[in-house]
Amino acid sequence: MGNINLKNFNYKELKNWVIEKGWKPFRADQIAKWIYTKKVNSYDEMTDVSKDIRKYLKENTEFSSLELVSYEKSNIDGSIKFLWKLKDGNTIESVFIPENGHNTLCISTQVGCAVGCKFCFTTKDGLIRNLTTAEIVDQYLQVQRFVGLEPKKRISNIVYMGMGEPLANYENVKKSVQIFTDKKLAGLSNRKITISSSGILHQIRKMYEDKEFPQVRLAVSLNAPDQKIREEIMPISQTNKLEDLMKLLNSLPVKPGYRIMLEYVLLKGINDRPSDAHKLARLIGKNKKRFKVNLIPFNPYPDSIYERPDEKDVLKFQKILWQYDIGAFIRWSKGQDISAACGQLRKKEINSFVKIHS
């Protein structure tokens, strides 16, 4: 089995690769249809592709980059957390989130994370490596096959909010977005894809200046109303200052209707006080129509030094932002009962799980 995976290719690369093999260009469209539209599980199912080509693909490329180790389904909201084993034995997680009228998939971009946010479980292992484009794309394809291909099960929204800092794996994330949004490949709407970043200034700027990076929605983990608190809970803020971050976000050429989401994890007694809400409103300032605030009550994990705020304090925080005419929404995270909520994903040891096909 070779180590080429066709899901590492965007459409142009796939077509060039097919032509290099001496095959007719239309074979690229056939292969793409079977992988991305029909979401087949093997080359054998590609019935209108010649046997010779299928034989070559089986012998020289790998079809899948992930192996499903286990899954857990929430009894509360139907979210499903998947644990995947990669070819090198590392593991990652993804979460399928059924919502009213649509389904969202939260995908990972790295094994571990180097950013070091103190309230996040994922970062406890540090960064092990970046995921390949195929490993990112395969999370979508395999989860869609798992939940079913009927229209009501269709994944329409993808959020790059799983393990890792997406913009620290820039090229592979960019190519995966190209694949997700290309009508000849996965064909998802740009508006339904969100990339979440901890606020790496040069990478955010690069993404908006890069003509080959399809414009999708941006979410930034703000999590504090001032530099002092942000530096305390997000060490990355020492080199990516809050003031500079807000200046950049206010200057980005965002398409009409593409509001930037400011993610704000509420930590009891740290950043959830009324004074913090007023500070946050002043930080957002006059350009409030450019932003919306996503308030996320902290999701506890083992040995965490932080606590979840009281519901009344979360509601009070939201109400203060409303008084400033700032769009503020509370994300009561789904999948908490299976540790699939925001900030709870972490690399797992394989031997602590029972393989689902054993």
Indicate which residue of 45, 59, 93, 150 is catalytic. Answer: 93
In angstroms, the CA 5 to CA 228 distance is: 45
In angstroms, the CA 28 to CA 22 distance is: 12
The answer to whether 321 touches 276, Cβ cutoff 8 Å, is: no
In angstroms, the CA 293 to CA 319 distance is: 12
71 φ, ψ (degrees, to nearest 5): -145, 155
117 is annotated as an active-site residue = no
93 is annotated as an active-site residue = yes
For residue 212, count CB atoms less than 10 angstroms from its CB and return exposed for 0-12, middle for 13-18, buried for 19 or more. Answer: exposed
Output b/e per residue, 79-116; b: 16+ Cβ within 10 A.
Answer: bbbbbbbbeeebbbbbbbbbeeeebbbbbbbbbbbebb
With tokens 């919502």, the residue in question is 99
Token pair for residue 171?
């090229």
One-letter amino acid identity for 232?
Answer: E
Indicate which residue of 209, 263, 342, 349 is catalytic. Answer: 342
The answer to whether 278 touches 316, Cβ cutoff 8 Å, is: no
Angle at CA 122, nearest 5°, toward 232 and 164?
95
With tokens 């979840």, the residue in question is 308
> What residues act catalytically?
93, 342
